[in-house]
Amino acid sequence: MQEGDMAVSDPFSSWRSLYGDLHNHCGISYGHGSLEDALANAREQLDFVSITGHAHWPDMPEPEPRIQYIIDFHEEGFARLKQVWPAMMETLRRHNEEGRFVIFPGFEVHSCASGDRNMLYKDLEGEILYPRDLDDLHAQLRALRLAGKDSIAQPHHVGYLKGTRGIDWSTFSPEFAPFVEMLSMHGCSEDSESPRPFLHSMGPSDAGSTIAEGLRLGHVFGFSGGTDHHSGHPGSYGHGRTALWAADGTREAIWEALYARRLVALTGDRIELKFSINGAPLGSVIPAAARRDLRIDVAGGAAIDAVDVIRNGRLWRRFSQLDVSPPAGSERREMVRTKIHLELGWGAKHRSCLWQAELGIDAGKILAVEPRFRGLEVVAPSERTTEAGERFFNSRVLERNERAVRFETLSQGNPTNSTCTTQGLCLEVEMPPEAQVWAVLNGVRVSHSLGTLMQGARSGCLSHTDAPCWRFHRAPQPEQLRWTFDLQDEEPMEDGTYYVRVRQANDQWAWSSPIFLRS
């Protein structure tokens, strides 16, 4: 899978991929679920997190009956966050585990004029800021930086129309915004046509506020993904996550990677995406060169469907399954390295199912376990009432070894025919194709050979007619999970950008931060 013949050193050799969510909410402001439940959910599937309570809206619309309920729940949420802030910080310090589960304190400031920002403090200290506007926010952050307290102000759901909390690119500054949120529950802001449209009551996206427009204007920023989840579930599967390349899992290393823009925006699956030009990794600003040697290395969370190279805002190259050839003798493999994704849910609408599950293999070895747990599909507090004592930490891995994983999860019947609320767990395995993949699901035992699952998905139900169901996804061939390309570009270019976009067959996506050429 190569274009040309070259050898480029691997800038990623000293880094590893970490996963986090830097934009999500719970009951500390307006939202659902306790802070403790949110942190427990985050720990199940993330390496770093910031839970960003709603804090301030300096240019909130004037009151009128149609939107009074929106004003009310915002003001109530702002007051709640101010009240609980000291206790919140103490809780964050107790749950933080340096090097393994790093927590960044934060909060969110709305702005109709310039777009929303969610704030991150580098260290486990800091107070809520109440700026008059974006200039005032930057001035306050600058003063804190001079005092040794660093921060980030991430623009998010930028694709909304300017003036209605979408970004005003004329106000953008990379000083405190090394990256911009590509996608969340609100939708994908890549371009005016994107794989996740804006469907929230705030309205559709607008071309003037997209990521593509920001790059066209010459701004330098990386790409992040965040859930913007409001039910205490950071990293909720399918709603947005951030991967980054860091030396280790420490606070210092993660913060360095954030400001270096070594980020990949993900919808859900842990896609490891490496992208470099002339040996410089994603997020870099490099000198213009007569020849650009591009290297792309993708390790998918499921079968890869397409890898796109976007050059100066346009699709420049697309690699598909037609560009991938199985190695000679692959049909006679004695051992197969692949991924087994078990999905649980379905059943009647508005009904839940508590699953006690065990997933395993009878030969070979489990190499990695990837929870694919979701939180409740809700944004505004008006959409749902939290019951007294209700728990929002309902999905967890209980036990694991080299052959099996035991877990529990709470699934909901899909609320519409196009809204998925299932739960899942994915195993990376190495095993013989004739060996069995098995599961015990609420007392029901089921098994399939790996070879059978490599031919296609297999499903089953706890009963018939609107009952909770399960699905073993197709297990990809190894060559469908790992694609590597080397290619060159010798077309004249001075200032410009490249980034890589990945789509999997299961409709999970990844976007590398751009590499910027500057003359």
| pLDDT tens digits, 336-356 | 999 999 999 999 998 999 999
pLDDT band at residue 5 using 50, 70 and 90 as cut-offs: very low
CA dihedral 302, 305, 311, 317 (to 10 degrees): 140
Residue bearing tokens 């909060």:
107
32 touches 225 (CB < 8 A): no
**Beta strands 515-518 and 285-287, pairing class:** parallel
Q: Is the pLDDT of residue 4 over 60?
A: no
**How far, in Å, CA of 115 to CA of 479, rounded?**
42
Q: What is the pLDDT of residues 354-373, one digit of tens each?
A: 999 999 999 999 999 999 99
- Dihedral sign for Cα 218, 223, 227, 230, please: negative
Q: Please name which of 191, 192, 167, 179 lies closest in space to residue 225, comparing C-alpha atoms.
A: 179
Write the single-letter amino acid at 2.
Q
- pLDDT range class, residue 377, cuts 50, 70, 90: confident
Instruction: Break the chain into its structural domains and give their ranges.
Output: 17-271, 330-476
Q: Do the strands 509-512 and 482-489 form a parallel or antiparallel pair, or are they unpaired?
A: unpaired
Judged against a pLDDT cut of 80, whether residue 330 lies above it is answered with no
Average per-residue pLDDT for the chain? 95
Average pLDDT over residues 421-444: 98
Query: 408 - beta bridge partners?
Result: 356, 396
The DSSP H or E segment spanning 39 is helix 35-45
pLDDT at residue 217 above 80?
Answer: yes
Strand, coil or helix: what is 89?
helix
Region of residue 261 (phi > 0: left; psi between -120 and 50: alpha; otherwise: beta): left
Arch. (CATH architecture) of 17-271: Alpha-Beta Barrel (3.20)
What does the pLDDT average to over 40-68? 97
Q: Which one-letter DSSP state was computed for residue 91?
A: H
At 208, is the secondary structure helix, strand, or coil? helix
Q: Is the pLDDT of residue 123 over 90?
A: yes
DSSP code of residue 113: T
**Burial status of residue 389 (CB atoms within 10 A of its CB: 0-12, 13-18, 19 or more):** exposed
286 φ, ψ (degrees, to nearest 5): -125, 160
Helical ranges in 96-232 per DSSP H = 134-146, 211-216
From residue 502, give the alpha-carbon distance in Å to each of 36, 158, 215: 34, 21, 19
Q: State pLDDT tens for residues 483-507.
A: 999 999 999 998 999 999 999 999 9
- pLDDT top residue among 377 and 261: 261
Alpha carbons 385 and 113: distance in angstroms, whole number: 31
Structure confidence at residue 3 as a pLDDT band (50, 70, 90): very low
Distance (Å, whole) CA 214 – CA 377: 30
Residue 8 predicted with pLDDT over 60: no
CA angle 178, 48, 508 (to 5 degrees): 80
Here the contacts of 451-457 (C-beta below 8 Å, separation 24 or greater) are 453/340, 454/336, 454/338
Confidence band, pLDDT 50/70/90 cuts, at residue 327: confident
Strand partners, 7: none
Antiparallel, parallel or unpaired: β 179-184 and 187-188? antiparallel
Residue count (the chain): 519
Q: Which tokens hold the place of 71?
A: 């004003």
Cβ–Cβ < 8 Å for 60, 255? no
Identify the DSSP state of 325: -
pLDDT at residue 384 in the model: 76
Residues 177-192: b if buried by 16+ CB within 10 A, e if exposed: bbbbbbbbbbbbbbeb
* Least confident piece of the model among 216-230, 280-294, 368-382, 423-437: 368-382
Calculate mean pLDDT across residues 415-429. Answer: 95
Q: How far is CA 294 from CA 315, 322, 409, in A?
A: 15, 20, 42
pLDDT bucket at 332, cuts 50 / 70 / 90 = confident
CB of 286 closer than 8 Å to CB of 517:
yes
Strand order in the sheet with 151-155: 52-56, 106-109, 117-121, 151-155
What was the pLDDT predicted at 326?
A: 83
> Could you give the percent of the chain with pLDDT greater than 70?
98
> Residue with structure tokens 């719970």?
26
29: confidence class by pLDDT, cuts 50, 70, 90: very high
Q: Based on C-alpha coordinates, what's the Rg of the chain? A: 23
